[in-house]
Amino acid sequence: MIILKRAWAVIKLFVLFNKELFVSSYAVLLQILKPKLSIRPGIFAMKTELKSNWEITLLSCLICLTPGTLTLDVSGDGETLYIHAMDIEDAEQLSQQIKNTFEKAIMEVTRA
């Protein structure tokens, strides 16, 4: 039963990543095609609930693979990720979005 639960969590993470990849690619494409850029790039710090190096590395990679975002650094204690985003309207909202999607899905895979 645990194997099925974990397999389902992996599938959900894969589908979530593909959805985020499509949505962010579309947003980046729209910015590229506009005659005038209206982006607000910036760097923000995001506290994470992930504990293991594997979980933090996976989150960092998923962020980097999503167009428009890039993990720049992870604090020495592994609790904070420093992320560059192409367009930041509200850093707290963007941080919560990452937590509610990728971070939550990673915890479902690794802590099932």
Quick one: average pLDDT of 41-56?
96
**Distance between CA 109 and CA 5 in Å, rounded?**
8
- State pTM to two decimals: 0.92
Q: Which helix H or strand E contains 71, and what residues bound it?
A: strand 69-74
Q: Give the domain range for residue 91.
A: 1-111
- Specify the number of domains making up the chain: 1
How far is the C-alpha of 49 from the C-alpha of 107, rounded, in Å?
9
CA 19 to chain centre: 12
Q: Which two tokens stand for residue 27?
A: 């947003």
Judged by DSSP in three states, 80 sits in strand
Which residues have CB under 8 Å from 1's CB, separation 6+? none
For residue 111, name the pLDDT band (cuts at 50, 70, 90). Answer: confident
Determine the average pLDDT of the residues in 84-105. 96
CB of 60 closer than 8 Å to CB of 81: yes
